[in-house]
Amino acid sequence: MVRRTAPLPGHRPGHGRRADRHRDRPRPALGPGAGRGPRAQPARAVPPVPRLDARHLPAAAGRRTDTCRHVLRRYRVTSTPVSTPPDGTATAGPAASAPVTLDTSGSRLYAQTDGLREAGPATRVRLPGDLTAWSVTRGEVAKQLLTHPHISKDARKSWPGYRPGSHPWLASWVDVVSMFTSDGDDHKRLRSLVGKAFTPRRIEAMRPAVEAVVTGLLDELEALEPGGHPVVDLRARFSYPVPTRVICDLFGVPAGQRPEMLRVIDAVLDTSATAEQAMATRRDLFAAMHHLIGSKRNGPAEDMTGLLLAAHEEDGDQLSEEELVSTLILMIGAGSETAVSLIDHAVEAMLTHPEQLATVLADPGRWDDVIEESLRLHPPIMHLPLRYATADIDLGEGVTLRAGDLVLIAFGAHGRDPQLHDRRDAFDIDREDKQHLAFGHGVHFCLGAPLARLEGRIALPALFERFPGLSLACEPGDLRPQPSFIGNDYRELPVRLRGAGAPAPEATAG
């Protein structure tokens, strides 16, 4: 007996029955080469897959262990030989309903994920381009799927409907070949090429460079005339340039190439873009990376781009041209976006919780608590495209992921899961459990997480030390979100640098 939940907005009665009818329709089975070209593979029976129980899954960490054990027992692979139609439309079991269209404006991220979480362990959603996927918003379900042996990141091998360029809005996320879209040995090989630059020792060695960037930006802010700049966009002048300058320096992006490169990287996160705009973004993105690579070929340098290029030219089997370009897209993009959002949200949280700010200023060691609580409550990434089921996975409550189904993990929903966090919507640096999935989980855990945390540890205390009178210049509810259900940040962060009556900086002799 399946417990029914209240229908989400947009649900139309009867669609569950319609989905069940489609389950009996013949569909191509997953075979070698499936999804690699226009020619369909011959239909064949899929051998039964052994049933998995909780003993085959890693123990869940953290609180509420009884609940976690109950959850773990439910996630099992079934042997039903069913796959997904080539268009990527997920089929559903008894819990089927009309897919919920994700809000591409970014204005309802938390409200929508709350509704999806209430509906079941996974809920069908409609993505741009009329694709249907399973949205996973329950924290423990997400963690288990992120380490599940039958969940893949490789569209070429695991999505029967994959055709390069057939889904424009997904092109920059799927039509690339990097560790982000690879599994197994390919993932290990590609990750190892950049992993050495992100060890704890290497990250700590970057501290002076990060401090120099932060100090320079604060000097620029302090030099602004209070009368001419009563309100400043802190995102544009501080939160954004701190991580982007650091990552561009690390990869040796020439100053003249940075504005265009950062423009197209930002555009990738815009889920409100039209298909034409998405394809134009992809073209511009690849053009920017080829421009960068070309500049390194003309004059190699000891930066990350130069080192990756050398690996490619030494052995194309170790790193192909396509993998080189895709890796640069991934590292330069992901290497900045998470820290920008972290700094923005941490600043806003401190300015709206002055008593907690006072605690942190009295004990600078508490900035780590600010960072982790900000990542829990306001994660930089909400949903991250895309994963694929490679076998049928029974999640319980009448929900089964079929082989070939598209899976959209809501990383940002974990930190607000009421089963994991008491007073989940409250910002509280004294919270005992600040667990989150802001940087992922499992083998695809974000390589740049230590760098993002370092940038936060340096930028935040320096900002509040330099501007003790810092205040928001608008109501928190008036801050405009990015137009995205992927990224989670503001378009701008208007602040006043100095409180009323604060003295202006003294002019220096020139």
- CA dihedral (332, 333, 338, 344) positive or negative: positive
Q: Give the integer Cα–Cα distance in Å for 54 and 459.
A: 43
C-alpha pair distances (Å), 83 with each of 24, 123, 164, 348, 360: 11, 18, 20, 46, 53
Q: pLDDT at position 45, please?
A: 39
25-51 b/e (C-beta count within 10 Å ≥ 16 → b): eebbbbeeebbeeeeebeeeebeebee
Reply yes or no on whether the pLDDT at 17 is more than 50.
Answer: no
User: Is 90 within a domain?
Assistant: no
Share of the chain above pLDDT 70, in %: 79
Comparing 311 with 79, the larger pLDDT belongs to: 311
User: Is 449 within a domain?
Assistant: yes
Of 42, 141, 133, 147, give the one whose Cα is nearest residue 388.
133
Assigned token pair, 241: 């340039």
Q: pLDDT at position 491, please?
A: 98
Tokens 């919780």: give the residue. Answer: 353
Please state whether beta strands 100-101 and 232-233 pair in parallel, antiparallel, or not at all (unpaired).
Answer: unpaired
Let me know: does 102 contact 126? Beta carbons within 8 Å: yes
Question: 488: part of which helix (H) or strand (E)?
Answer: none
User: Is 310 within a domain?
Assistant: yes
Work out the average pLDDT over 389-404. Answer: 97
User: Is 86 within a domain?
Assistant: no
Comparing 74 with 127, the larger pLDDT belongs to: 127
Reply yes or no on whether the pLDDT at 507 is more than 60.
Answer: no
Q: Give the integer Cα–Cα distance in Å for 130 and 89.
A: 9
pTM over 0.85: no
Q: pLDDT at position 76, please?
A: 44
Lowest mean pLDDT among 38-42, 127-131, 434-438, 458-462: 38-42
Lowest mean pLDDT among 157-166, 312-321, 424-433, 496-505: 496-505
Comparing 131 with 43, the larger pLDDT belongs to: 131
Reply yes or no on whether the pLDDT at 501 is more than 70.
Answer: no
Q: Give the integer Cα–Cα distance in Å for 176 and 155.
A: 10
User: In which band, very low, low, confident or very high, does the pLDDT at 75 lie, cut at 50, 70 and 90?
Assistant: very low
C-alpha pair distances (Å), 218 with each of 250, 255, 458: 21, 20, 12
Work out the average pLDDT over 303-319. Answer: 92
Q: pLDDT at position 51, please?
A: 36
- Where in the sequence is the domain holding 373, given as residue range(s)? 189-389+440-496
User: Is 70 within a domain?
Assistant: no
Comparing 410 with 76, the larger pLDDT belongs to: 410
Q: Give the integer Cα–Cα distance in Å for 16 and 90.
A: 12
Of 57, 62, 71, 133, give the one whose Cα is nearest residue 100.
133
- DSSP of 156-194: HHH-TT--TTSSGGGHHHHS--SGGG--HHHHHHHHHHH
Reply yes or no on whether the pLDDT at 357 is more than 60.
Answer: yes
Q: Give the integer Cα–Cα distance in Å for 214 and 123.
A: 42
Q: pLDDT at position 503, please?
A: 52
Work out the average pLDDT over 2-6. Answer: 35
39-71 tens-digit pLDDT: 333 333 333 333 333 333 333 333 333 333 333
Q: Which CATH number does the domain housing residue 309 bear?
A: 1.10.630.10
Reply yes or no on whether the pLDDT at 255 is more than 70.
Answer: yes
Reply yes or no on whether the pLDDT at 203 is more than 60.
Answer: yes
Q: Which residues pair with 126 in a beta bridge?
A: 101, 132
Beta strands in 390-498 (DSSP E): 393-396, 399-401, 406-410, 471-472, 494-496
SS3 of 387-398:
EEECCCEEEECC
Average pLDDT over the chain reads: 83
Q: pLDDT at position 12, please?
A: 37
User: In which band, very low, low, confident or very high, does the pLDDT at 89 lie, cut at 50, 70 and 90?
Assistant: very low
Share of the chain above pLDDT 90, in %: 73
Q: Give the integer Cα–Cα distance in Å for 35 and 452.
A: 36
- DSSP of 49-115: -----GGGSPPPPSS-HHHHHHHHHH-EE-----B--TT-PPP--TT--PPEEP-TTSTTHHHHHHH
Burial of 267 (0-12, 13-18, 19+ CB in 10 A): middle
How many residues are present in the chain? 510
207-219 tens-digit pLDDT: 999 999 999 999 9
User: Is 317 within a domain?
Assistant: yes
Instruction: Give 32's Cβ-side CA count (13 Å radius).
Output: 0
313-329 tens-digit pLDDT: 998 888 999 999 999 99
Reply yes or no on whether the pLDDT at 274 is more than 80.
Answer: yes
User: Is 209 within a domain?
Assistant: yes
Reply yes or no on whether the pLDDT at 7 is more than 50.
Answer: no
Work out the average pLDDT over 452-465. Answer: 98
Running DSSP on this structure, what letter comes out for residue 441?
Answer: -
Reply yes or no on whether the pLDDT at 239 is more than 90.
Answer: yes
Let me know: does 402 contact 82? Beta carbons within 8 Å: yes
User: In which band, very low, low, confident or very high, does the pLDDT at 420 lie, cut at 50, 70 and 90?
Assistant: very high
Burial of 321 (0-12, 13-18, 19+ CB in 10 A): middle
User: Is 357 within a domain?
Assistant: yes
User: In which band, very low, low, confident or very high, does the pLDDT at 500 lie, cut at 50, 70 and 90?
Assistant: low
User: In which band, very low, low, confident or very high, does the pLDDT at 342 lie, cut at 50, 70 and 90?
Assistant: very high
How many helices (H) and strands (E) the chain has is answered by 18, 12
| Number of structural domains in the chain | 1
